[in-house]
C-alpha cells in the first residue's frame, strides 16, 4: 500500500504531474500538447486510459494546453474549481457534461483509497489552487505557481513525505536578465513565482523528520539552472542543519516513478 508519483514535465513550457495509489491514478494538469502528453505517459509506462481523472490547478496554458485533447481521447473526468472552469472552458473544445466536475477551494475529496485536498495560492489566474495527496498515512504535496508561501499554505502542506515545490528563478539572474521590467515585476510580485531562496526558506518551515525527498519544480528556462536551484535551496536548508534529498525536474522528461515510504 503506497503512493507513487512522477513529475511528467515541469516548467513554463508545460506542466504535468502523475500520482497513483493502488486504486487511484490521477493526472494533475496537462500543459503540453496531446502528443507530448502521450509520449510522457509512455515513458513512465502509464496507460492514460486507466486514469481516474485529471485535476486542474489553474487555466494558464502551461497547465491546460493538452487538457481538452487528453480528456476527450480517453474520456476522462476533469476536476477544477468554478472560476477556473469559467476561465478555461472555451479553450478546451467540446467536452461532454459527464466529464465536468467541480473541485472547490479548500476542499477534501476522497477517491477510493486516496484523499485529495485543495488549497488556494496567490498567483495571477482566476482561482489558482494546488493539492496534497494522502494515502495510508503517506502525504505528498504539490506546490508551484505561487507568488509567496503564506502561513495558511504552510499549515496545509507541512509534514509531508515528499514535495514537488516551485523554485522558479534566481533573483539575481532575473534582475540582470533580458525580460522587460513589467515581466520581472510580475514574476517577483506576490502573484508571480517563488524564487530559489524563498523556496528554501519556506521548506525549512514545512518539512519534518518524515520528509524524504523534494523535487524542485517549475524552473524558469531563462532565469534559473538546475544546479543553481539545487545549490541555492540546499544552502538555505544546510544553514539550518537540514540535509535532504533534492531532485531535479525537467521540462521534457518525466522523473522516475517514485514510491513514497
Q: 20, 29, 117, 145: which one contacts Zn ion (CB under 5 A)?
A: 145
Helix ranges (H only) for 31-125 are 34-43, 61-64, 67-73, 82-92
Which region among 53-61, 102-110, 182-190, 201-209 touches Zn ion (by CB under 5 A)? 53-61
Interaction of residue 60 with Zn ion, rule CB under 5 A: yes
Interacting positions 235-254 with Zn ion (CB under 5 A): none
Q: How far is the CB of 22 from Zn ion (least distance, A)?
A: 30
Q: DSSP for 166-219, please give it.
A: E--B-HHHHHHSSS-HHHHHHHHSTTS--BHHHHHHHHHHH--TT--EEEEE--
Q: In what order do the strands lie in the sheet with 100-102?
A: 100-102, 78-80, 53-55, 25-28, 16-20, 3-9, 258-260
User: Strand, coil or helix: what is 88?
Assistant: helix
* Nearer CB in complex with Zn ion: 3/130: 130
Interaction of residue 127 with Zn ion, rule CB under 5 A: no
Which region among 140-148, 176-184, 202-210, 252-260 touches Zn ion (by CB under 5 A)? 140-148
152: enclosing H helix or E strand: helix 151-157
Q: Assess contact for 237 and 243: CB atoms under 8 A.
A: yes
Which region among 138-146, 174-182, 199-207, 221-229 touches Zn ion (by CB under 5 A)? 138-146
Q: How far is the CB of 145 from Zn ion (least distance, A)?
A: 4
Interaction of residue 65 with Zn ion, rule CB under 5 A: no
Residue with the closest Cβ to Zn ion?
Answer: 60
Q: Which residues bind to Zn ion, rule: CB under 5 A?
A: 60, 62, 145
Amino acid at each position: 500500500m503506497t503512493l507513487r508519483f512522477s513529475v511528467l514535465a515541469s516548467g513554463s513550457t508545460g506542466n504535468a504531474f502523475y500520482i497513483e495509489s493502488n486504486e487511484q491514478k490521477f493526472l494533475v494538469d496537462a500543459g503540453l500538447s496531446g502528443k507530448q502528453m502521450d509520449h510522457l505517459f509512455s515513458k513512465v509506462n502509464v496507460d492514460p486510459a486507466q486514469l481516474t481523472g485529471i485535476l486542474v490547478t489553474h487555466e494558464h496554458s502551461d497547465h491546460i494546453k493538452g487538457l481538452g485533447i487528453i480528456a476527450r481521447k480517453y474520456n476522462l473526468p476533469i476536476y477544477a474549481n468554478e472560476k477556473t472552469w469559467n476561465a478555461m472552458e472555451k479553450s478546451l473544445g467540446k467536452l461532454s457534461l459527464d466529464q465536468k466536475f467541480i473541485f472547490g477551494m479548500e476542499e477534501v475529496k476522497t477517491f477510493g483509497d486516496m484523499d485529495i485536498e485543495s488549497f488556494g495560492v496567490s498567483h495571477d489566474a482566476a482561482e489558482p489552487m494546488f493539492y496534497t495527496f494522502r494515502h495510508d498515512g503517506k502525504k505528498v504535496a504539490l506546490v508551484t505557481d505561487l507568488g509567496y508561501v503564506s502561513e495558511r499554505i504552510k499549515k496545509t502542506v507541512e509534514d509531508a513525505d515528499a514535495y514537488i515545490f516551485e523554485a522558479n528563478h534566481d533573483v539575481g539572474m532575473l534582475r540582470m536578465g533580458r525580460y522587460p521590467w513589467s515581466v520581472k515585476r510580475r514574476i517577483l510580485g506576490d502573484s508571480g513565482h517563488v524564487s530559489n531562496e524563498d523556496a528554501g526558506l519556506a521548506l525549512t518551515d514545512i518539512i519534518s523528520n518524515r520528509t524524504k525527498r523534494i523535487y524542485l519544480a517549475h524552473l524558469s528556462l531563462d532565469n534559473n539552472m538546475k544546479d543553481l536551484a539545487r545549490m541555492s535551496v540546499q544552502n538555505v536548508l544546510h544553514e539550518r542543519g537540514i540535509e535532504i534529498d533534492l531532485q531535479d525536474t525537467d521540462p521534457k522528461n518525466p522523473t522516475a516513478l517514485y514510491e513514497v515510504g
